[in-house]
Amino acid sequence: MLVVMRKDSPQESIDQVCECIRDRGFAPHVMPGEVRLAIGVTGNKGFVAIDNLEGIEGVLEVIHVTSPHKLVSREVHPEDSIVDVQGVKFGGPEVVVMAGPCAVESRDQVMEVARQVKRLGAKMLRGGAFKPRTSPYSFQGLKKEGLEILAEARKETGLPVVTEVMGTDDLDLVAEYADLLQIGARNMQNFMLLEAAGKTRKPVLLKRGMSATIKELLLAAEYIMSQGNYEVILCERGIRTFEDSTRNTLDLNAVPMMKQFSHLPVVVDPSHGIGIWSKVTPMARAAVAAGCDGLIVEVHNHPEKALSDGAQSLTPKNFGLLMTSVDRVAAAVDRTLLG
C-alpha cells in the first residue's frame, strides 16, 4: 500500500500518517520524490483500510501496490532513484565506473592500481578484503589489514571505496571502512546479512546470485529496503548457463528489465560476467548501450600474478582503452562517463 502526499506536505502531517500506519502494526517508509511524496506501507497483507488517512492535510490518495517487491518497485517511486556515495551519484546522467583489483593483496598493489584508475577516470575504487573463494585453500583476503589499505588508498586518491561484506559478524567492521557495502553473488539470498545491511545506513551494492532470477534479486533488495535502508544499487554480474566457453553469461536483458521494474540504479560487472580480460571492453560497451548506470571492473597492475581473478583483470593500460571506448558509447546514449 502507498500513501501519496503533496511534495510540500507539512512535516506534522507526514508524522501523523506514519503514526496511523504504525498504530495498525505496519511499517511506514517515507520516500520523497520529484513531484510527490510517497509513504510506502509494509507488513500488511493486501489492501487494508486505515481510518482517517485521507483526512490528513497533504494526503492525495491511498493506492494498493500490486508488486511483491513494493519498495523496490516503480509503483512506489516512479522516478529513478539517485544513490549518492560520498558525492558519487548513481542513477543520474553519469555512468559511474568503479575499478580496482578483485582482491586487496598488498599496500603497493592497491596504491598503484588506485592511482592509475583514478587518473584514467574511475570514480570509485573496488577491492575485496574478505574474499568468497570456491576452494578453502585459495587466498581468502587480507581482512582487516586489507580494509586499512583501502582506507589509505581512499585518503590518497579521494576515491570512495566499495568492498565486500561476507557475513553479519564482519558487518560492523566492514561498514567502518566501506563507502559502499558489496553483498556478493554468493550471499544474495543470505537473508540475515540483507536485513543486517538494511539496518545500517550505508549504501549497498547488491550483486545478482549466479542462479537467481531478476525477481529474486529485486526481492533480495526489498529485504534491505524493508529495514529502512533505501540506498541500494543492483548489479548484474552474469549467471550460470549451459554455455561453458565463458565464465558466466552476462545477462544484459536484466538491465532494461530491472530499470522497468525498479527505480534503483543498475550497474553491470563485465569482468565476472564474461571472465576473459580481452572480452571485458566489448561487454562494458554493450552494458552501457543497454542503459546501465555504472560499471564495476577488475584492474590489476600484474594480472598474471593476481591472487584471484587474474584472467579477467585488465592492466591499467587496457582499462584506459576501455574508458575511452565506453565513453563514446555513453555519449551515443546521452550519458557521460569521462566528462
Which listed option, ligand PEP, Mn ion, none, makes contact with residue 144 (CB within 5 to 8 Å by class)?
A: none
Q: Which helix (H) or strand (E) holds 324?
A: helix 316-332
105 binds Mn ion (CB under 5 A): no
Name the segment binding ligand PEP (CB under 6 A); options: 40-48, 79-87, 180-188, 216-224: 180-188
C-alpha cell at 315: 592492466
* C-beta of 43 vs 132, nearer to Mn ion: 132
Give CA–CA dist 220/197, Å, rounded.
Answer: 11
**Residue from the set 83, 185, 233, 284 that interacts with ligand PEP by CB under 6 A:** 185
- Amino acid found at 5: M
Name the segment binding ligand PEP (CB under 6 A); options: 65-73, 116-124, 182-190, 258-266: 182-190
Phi, then psi, of 274 in degrees rounded to 5: -115, -35
C-alpha cell at 158: 579521494
**Residue from the set 157, 309, 319, 326 that interacts with Mn ion by CB under 5 A:** 309
Minimum Å gap between C-beta 269 and ligand PEP is 6
Strands (DSSP E) contained in the chain are 2-6, 27-32, 36-42, 59-63, 83-85, 88-90, 96-100, 124-126, 161-164, 180-183, 204-207, 232-236, 266-268, 294-298
Give CA–CA dist 79/263, Å, rounded.
Answer: 6
* C-beta of 107 vs 186, nearer to ligand PEP: 186
**Residue from the set 272, 285, 300, 335 that interacts with ligand PEP by CB under 6 A:** 272
Minimum Å gap between C-beta 42 and ligand PEP is 27
* C-beta of 75 vs 251, nearer to ligand PEP: 251
Residues 279-338 that bind ligand PEP (CB under 6 A): none
Residues 236-254, buried b or exposed e (16+ Cβ, 10 A)?
bbbbeeeeeebbbbbbbeb
Name the segment binding ligand PEP (CB under 6 A); options: 65-73, 135-143, 178-186, 251-259: 178-186
Name the segment binding ligand PEP (CB under 6 A); options: 59-67, 150-158, 183-191, 212-220: 183-191
* Per-residue binding letters, 101-140, with ligand PEP (x by CB under 6 A): -x-------------------------x---x--------
Residue 288's nearest CA partner among 251, 336, 329 is 329
User: How many other CB atoms sit within 10 Å of the CB of residue 299?
Assistant: 30
232 binds ligand PEP (CB under 6 A): no
Residue 180's nearest CA partner among 108, 265, 248, 118 is 265
Minimum Å gap between C-beta 91 and ligand PEP is 20
* C-beta of 29 vs 272, nearer to ligand PEP: 272
User: Both ends of the chain: CA-CA distance in Å?
Assistant: 41
Please report how many Cα atoms fall inside a 13 Å half-sphere around the Cα of residue 7, on the Cβ side.
Answer: 5
The residues that touch Mn ion, with contacts defined as CB under 5 A, are 102, 309
Binding site for ligand PEP (CB under 6 A): 102, 128, 132, 184-186, 207, 237, 269, 272
